[in-house]
Structure 1
Amino acid sequence: MAKIQIKRGLQSNVEKLLLSQGELAVALDTGNLYVGTESGKVHLNPDGGTADEASKLKNAREFSVSGDGTAQPVAFDGTGNVELILSLATMPGLTAGTYTKLTVDGKGRVTGASNIEISDLPSIPASKITGLGTAASQNTGKASGNVVVVESNGKIADSLIPSLAISETFEADSEAAMLTLSCQKGDICIRTDENKSYILSGDSASVLANWKWLRTPDCKVLSVNGKTGAVTLSAADVSAEPLLKNAGVVSIGYIDGGTF
């Protein structure tokens, strides 16, 4: 019986061997197997080697996807690549659109959508908001520092408006009477005892210095024939009687029923 000899040794020694055609050698420390050929030796069991041609599966299989996404089944028999076209699953009752409020589940999937309403907004202190102006930080009301609210008639309540100073005219026959008048600043008093008018420039009518004389334009005629005030003249005041006595007889006639 023929005996097959296989050379053996450490990897470093086996690599240096010259093998005859068909002769085998094995490295005991690495397990590498070599065979001699016409051109040298060939490593029969290298690491990571690939087959020259993949074998077709005896029973073909299919790839498919289900759950949050779906894909149509694709047959696979080992002879080619497989491409799956994935389609995301739609959520019942959810329509396409732009929303400001979303509801998601534990997987991050959107399960609901709507727009934010006033009730969804959190309470934010005015101190954290900019651009509101000074009035926005004040309370409404009637106290000092409050912002007044217009009433249903579109006006501010009369009780919140101070009394307006409307100029009124009074008469007094003496200085004492003028100082007792119930007047407001801007009122006028006519002094009948001296034919002068005064205006109240201060808040108190009882203070003489608050009454200012309303001066009239300068009048050049200060007296008539030595008389002042409301002057009434007679013929004697202007020496008219002697002139009339020396004027002679005045003739009187009639024209068309008239006298001349």
Structure 2
Amino acid sequence: MGQAIQLKRGNSANLASLSLVAGEPAFVLDTGKLYIGTGTDKVLINPDQGTVASADKWTTPRTITVNGDATGSVQIDGGSNVILTITETASGVTAGTYPKVTVNAKGEVTAGATLTTSDIPTLTLSKISDAGTAASKSVGTASGNIPVLDSNGKLDTNILPALALTSTNVVASQTAMLALTAEPGDLAVRTDLNKTFILKAAGASTLANWQELLTPTDSVTSVAGKTGAVTLTSSDVGLGNVTNESKATMFANPTFTGTVTLPTPSSGDNSTKGATTAFVNNAIAIIDGGIF
């Protein structure tokens, strides 16, 4: 029986670390390849039919094309890297800034619009940081409410208490006046001085804040000899003979009685002035030519 020739054998995973001496064969079990050592490397002696170990480029170039929401194409022959430029298909929305947009399932903006009332949700006060404390109050007249003006621009009378603009206090001394609980505008009638003071500034206990009200130096005790609620007549003031007549009727067609005295017009006066006897006598004397 002849001797068998045994070859080195193994899988392609270990091929890279395989070292063969010149002329030494090795068989790769999982690919069926046979290699022969050269002393420095190994050579494949049964390559696949119709293939080459390497090539600079493809015999027939190929074109890569992109269609759909984006378009573009580039030709490649394997000889070098290429760049495929893609142009996005216009969505039909005019360029700009929109507060509200519509997006399709691909994440593309298909429409833009402005906000409407229905787009704004109802916000509770807790979500508004600068509303102020008054915003949390209710409108009304109860405690803690905010009152509103009526149609006349005034507050409801139920809101404001009755106000006294001036309070009059009768006191018998300065000490009592300074002890008053008073506000500016209040009066203090001093019976010890027969004088009245008004509080002109806050602080009723400070004498300088009280201002004396001026009164006439002499009091009127009677009028034309009458006291109390006085009603005067013309006789009360020495005008008993005077007729209460208006100027409009007094000088319209008056009737004179007694001796009426008028200023005498100058000689030759031809106006509508009243002619006195002196004026008439003088006029007659001028007309008379005299005796010769």
TM-score, normalised with respect to structure 1: 0.49
More strand by share: 1
TM-score, normalised with respect to structure 2: 0.45
